[in-house]
Amino acid sequence: MLHEPVAKNMEVVAWSDMGGKLDGLQMQYQEVAGRHYLYVGHFWSSGVTILDVTDPYKPLNAGFISAPNNSTWHIKVQLANNILLVPSELNFFGVGVNPAELRSGVRVFDAHNPTQPEEISFIDAGGIGVHRSWWNGERYAYLSAGIAAPGINMHGIPDMTRAMVTVDMEDPRNPRTLSEFWLPEQRGEGDGIREGETIYTHEPVVVGDRAYIAYWDGGFAIVDVSDRSKPELIRHVKTFPELSDGNTHTCLPLPDRNLLIVVEENTANFGGEGPKSIWAWDISDEEHPEIVSRFPVPEPSAEEPYDTYLQRGERFGPHCVHENHANQLYSSDKIYATYCNAGLRIFDISDAANPVESASFVPPDPSGIVDPRPYDREFDIFHGGSRTACTQDVLVDPRGYIYITGTNDGIWIVKENS
C-alpha cells in the first residue's frame, strides 16, 4: 500500500474529507464577494458539497445540496454566471437502487448565494438521466441527455442512448430545449453499430460555434452549432478499434493552437479493457483531423512501492482533464489529467508532437471507504468496489491551485512548484 502522497514538482497544499463525504467526481468553482467556492459532485454521498477555499490551505465545509433520493446521482456539476446546473442520473453503482425513483434531468440553481443555492427550475430528460454536460454561461447549455433509441444499446441497456441536447438558458427559470443532435449510427443508420459497441454522447465541450463531442466507442465528432436549433455534423472520427480500445471520454479544444485533446477513460480494473490513452489531434482542417501525438504512459517513481501501476491494482489509465471552463484557469500549453491509481499527471505540450510529463501527484490509499459496492478484486473488474486510491477529476482555479477528487479519497489541493 501507499501510505503517504508522492509529489513530483508539486506542493501539497491541503486535504479535506468534506465532512466524511470522501467520494467525489466533477467539480466547479466560483468567486463571490472576494470568497472562493468549490462545488463537488458525489457518487454515494447523495448530493453536492460546497467548500469555501478562500484559504486553500484551510478548506471549510460551507454547504450541501441533497440529492432527491439515493437512486439519483449528482456526480456532475456545471457553473457559470451564478447559475449552477446539477445533472441527475441513475446511481448505477449504488446498492438497492430503484430506477423508478430516478429524477432524470438537470436541476437548475441560482447560486448568487454561494453556500445556499436556490433551485429555480428543472430540465427533464429520459433514459437513465443526464451525464457529463457543458454550461459555460454563454446563453446555451449542452447536455448529454438520456433518450429512447429503439434498437440501440447503451452499456447493455436496450433501446437507449444519450444525445447532445441544446437548451436555451436566457431565462434560467424557464429553460427551453432547442434541439437534439444524434449521429446517424444512433438511429441505426450510416455504418451502423458493431456488436459490443456503445455509441452515445458522453460529453460535449463547446467553444464558439463548435461542439466537440466524445462518443465512447464512437470516437469523436466536430459539430457546427452556429444554428443552435439545427446542429450540423462537420466530421465524425472513428478511433475504435483501429486506433484504440474505445471509451472516448472528453474532447478538449485548444482553439488558439488548432489542437483537440482527446481523452479515453479506463473503466476496468487490472487493464481488463486494454490500454487507454490521451491524444493530441490537429484540427486546423476540421474535415480532416490528423493525429499529432499520443501522450506518454505514466510510470511509478522510486518512492512508490510497486513497479507498475497495473501492479498497484484496480484502475489505471486516464479519466478526466482540466477543461478550461468559465471561472477557471485557461491553459493551452499544459494538460492536467487524472489517471485513476496513478493520480494527477501534468503534461507540457509546448511541443504538441512531443508531450512531456512535467509534474505529478499520487495520493495514498484511502484510510476510509464510502464505496458501498462489494469488493471483488478477482472476478468483477467493472463493478467491484474500490479500495485503492482512484483519482477521478481535476480543476485548476485562476490562482493556480489544483483540486482533485477520488472514489474514496476526499479532496486533495496541490500546486505546481514555481
What's the pLDDT at 304?
Answer: 97
* Contacts of 24 by beta carbon, 8 Å cutoff, 6+ apart: 18, 40, 41, 42, 43, 49, 392, 393, 405, 406, 409, 410, 411
Residue type, 270: F
What's the pLDDT at 138?
Answer: 92
* Contacts of 190 by beta carbon, 8 Å cutoff, 6+ apart: 183, 184
Encode the chain (418 residues) as per-residue pLDDT tens digits.
899 999 999 999 999 999 999 999 999 999 999 999 999 999 999 999 999 999 999 999 999 999 999 999 999 999 999 999 999 999 988 888 999 999 999 999 999 999 999 999 999 999 999 999 999 999 999 999 999 999 888 988 899 999 999 999 999 999 999 999 999 999 988 877 887 789 999 999 999 999 999 999 999 999 999 999 999 999 999 998 889 889 999 999 999 999 999 999 999 888 888 899 999 999 999 999 999 999 999 999 999 999 999 999 899 999 999 999 999 999 999 999 999 999 999 999 999 999 999 999 999 999 999 999 888 776 677 778 899 999 999 999 999 999 999 999 999 999 999 8
What's the pLDDT at 379?
Answer: 66
Q: Give the whole-angstrom CA distance, residue 86 versus residue 105.
A: 9
What's the pLDDT at 3?
Answer: 95
Q: Is 374 exposed, middle or buried (0-12, 13-18, 19+ CB in 10 A)?
A: exposed
Q: Which three cell numbers stand for residue 250?
A: 472528453
What's the pLDDT at 287?
Answer: 98
Q: Is the pTM of this model over 0.85?
A: yes
**348-354, Cβ contacts within 8 angstroms, sequence gap of 24 or more:** 349/259, 349/280, 352/257, 352/259, 352/280, 352/292, 352/293, 353/280, 353/292, 353/293, 354/293
> Which of the four CATH numbers 3.40.640.10, 2.130.10.10, 2.30.42.10, 2.40.30.40 does domain 6-416 have?
2.130.10.10
What's the pLDDT at 188?
Answer: 87
Question: Cell numbers 491553459 correspond to what residue?
Answer: 331
Domain boundaries, the chain: 6-416
Q: Give the whole-angstrom CA distance, residue 71 versus residue 95.
A: 9
